[in-house]
Amino acid sequence: MSTVLSPTSDQGTGGNGVVVASSGSSRRRPRRGRWHNSIGTVPFLVYLALFLGVPAISVIVTAFVNGSGHPTLSNFNEAVHGVYLQSFVASLKLSFGAAIISTVVGLLAALAVCSSSNRILRAIVTAGSGVFANTGGVPLAFSFVATVGNFGLITKLLSDAGFNPYNHGFSLYSVLGLTIVYQYFLIPLMILIMIPPIDALRKEWVDASSSLGATRTQFWRWVGIPLLLPPILAAFIVLFTDSFAAYATAEALTSGTIPLVPIQLGSLISGNVLAGQTNLGDALGAGMIFIVVVAGGLYIYVQRKASRWLR
């Protein structure tokens, strides 16, 4: 397609001619730019394929095979009955409860941090949350045992004051105890996730609601919370998935006394397999993959809803 010029044919610097680029060239350049931008994702996609995709496919395929290599559904039949079904129920309850608590507490903490004008406080909270959100396993379990265990420091102080929590039904080595321990890394993770959406709330919206006579509480009820609801739901899904897949902390703290899916799976991988249950661990792994994939799909859907007003 030829170049179109304005009625004046002068194309010099002092002329009035305006060059209009052809539609064909304007369409080709963005395509080339998008292709060059996507090259940077190739190493990441290869990494996901090798260390996530291939193992996941291998687990799913093996879950449908018995010890002799023949196709079967007996592995899944065993995985949804008895103690293994109880482990799925216990894991879902633990993950849901821990995610609910951390979502509420983390949201309130993120709102407090974003409303503060103290930059040092915000930097400290952000840096601390980044550290705590990646802390887990044996060190985290040991720290809680040393503080609120049977003979922990806080337990001893409370006992000296005449109140021993273990005499009133509390136990660190229970689902309730794990829920409390999980808050150590879930609440900081919630803070890190929610700070960007809260910062994206425009000051003009607050000013507009104030000019219309709305109080601060009414703004959060009718404007702020509805706008933050998609990011909050997305963050809840992330926290739920993180709790559901946690293994090292629960294993180190309870020594496998609580029937959770990751602990049962770890027990089967370590060699505690009965006759006829050769690939039962793969069936449990496939069940976990299914739950995580469903949660991931919900997360992507909610994130698309949230991205409409974050742009």
Q: What are 183-242's pLDDT values in tens digits?
A: 999 999 999 999 998 988 877 887 888 888 888 788 888 888 888 888 899 999 999 999
Length of the chain: 311
The region of weakest confidence among 14-28, 56-70, 165-179, 245-259 is 14-28
Q: From the CB of residue 79, how many other CB atoms can be counted at a distance below 10 Å?
A: 24
d(CA 156, CA 171): 14
Considering the segment(s) 73-310 as one domain, its CATH architecture is: Orthogonal Bundle (1.10)
Give mean pLDDT, residues 152-158: 92
Token reading at 180: 């409390």
Give mean pLDDT, residues 138-144: 92
pLDDT digit string (tens) for 253-270? 988 788 899 998 888 877
DSSP H or E stretch at residue 175: helix 175-200
- Write down the domain spans for the chain: 73-310
Token reading at 87: 């482990």
Q: Which residues pair with 4 in a beta bridge?
A: 20
Report percent pLDDT > 70 for the chain.
84
User: pLDDT value at position 205?
Assistant: 81
